[in-house]
Amino acid sequence: MGKRIYVNGGILITTPFFAYKNAGASYDLPPENSEIIEPNTITETGEPYLEISNEHPQSIFNEYYAKTFFTTQHTFAYFFAKDFIGSYNDFKQRIDEIQSVINIKGLDEQKQNIINKLSYINIITSLDTFICDIILTKIIQDEESFNNFFNSIPPCKKKDEMTKLKEDNLVAQWEQKVIEYVMRTSYSNIDTIKDILKELFKVSIIDTNGKMKKHFYYRNLLAHRNGRKKDGGYINITNEELKSLITDTQSIAKQIQTKIKPEH
């Protein structure tokens, strides 16, 4: 459960990867039930303060109160301010931007084929980003969601490293590593998406006729093999296939947004 932290001096935030549940400055006395933290830095004028940085993080689930000043040098990372609707709207905007490129007229066949392949990858990447965004939005809401997500991560070396941080009571460092894990994970796999949504949001989605599974397969060939298939031939993406991908991607994103929005 989040703590109430009182710093016997000022607080300076020098990282965008920080948030707090509540905060305040100019507290002569610690608020009730506060844990007191001594400053770790001194200003040029000799004023002590706690610097919250990438090297010295603090938990994002605590309240923070300073005896003197409370200030930041950064705008906090986008996911601390984003909600599910914002994530969905960003997804729709990215698709609109890709469509504007697809609709360019006068390209010869070779250039159109290159544009179509790149657009195919970017459409899937837009969905991948949407999934990443809603995961981050969900897990930073509360510690229970954060822990539930961490517990759902399959056994791997990275999870072992994160577990060690948690066991050593390096909670803030553990939180940052979990957030990094979310941001570095690929969600270009329909089974991965289904598992995460079921575990984190308690919802199930339907991939009608396995359309998204096929789209992800094509995306992976394009992204990792330049579209080369097992038989040595190459995938060519037509305008109609792009339109189908956009329709299917918009449909799955809308399905996800509709299912997670009412309760989460």
Domain locations in the chain as residue ranges: 4-76, 84-260
Contact 165, 174 (CB under 8 A): yes
What is the rounded distance in angstroms from the CA atom of residue 175 to the CA atom of residue 231?
45
Residues in the chain: 264
DSSP, res 201: I
CA distance 121 to 221: 10
Pairing status of strand 41-42 against strand 48-52: antiparallel
Residues near 67 by Cβ (< 8 Å), separated by ≥ 6? 6, 7, 8, 9, 10, 26, 27, 28
For residue 148, with 0-12 CB atoms within 10 Å meaning exposed, 13-18 middle and 19 or more buried, which class applies? middle
Q: Which residues, listed in sequence order, are joined to residue 10 by a DSSP beta bridge? A: 49
**154 residue type, one letter:** P
d(CA 7, CA 26): 10
Q: What is the pLDDT of residue 262?
A: 53
pLDDT in tens, the chain (264 residues): 689 999 999 999 999 999 999 999 999 999 999 999 999 999 999 999 999 999 999 999 999 999 999 999 888 898 998 899 999 999 999 999 998 888 788 888 888 889 999 999 999 999 999 999 999 999 999 999 999 999 999 999 999 999 999 999 999 999 999 999 999 999 999 999 999 999 999 999 999 999 999 999 999 999 998 889 888 988 889 889 999 999 999 999 999 999 997 555
pLDDT, residue 227, reads 87
Confidence (pTM): 0.91
Contact present, 216 and 192 (Cβ < 8 Å): no
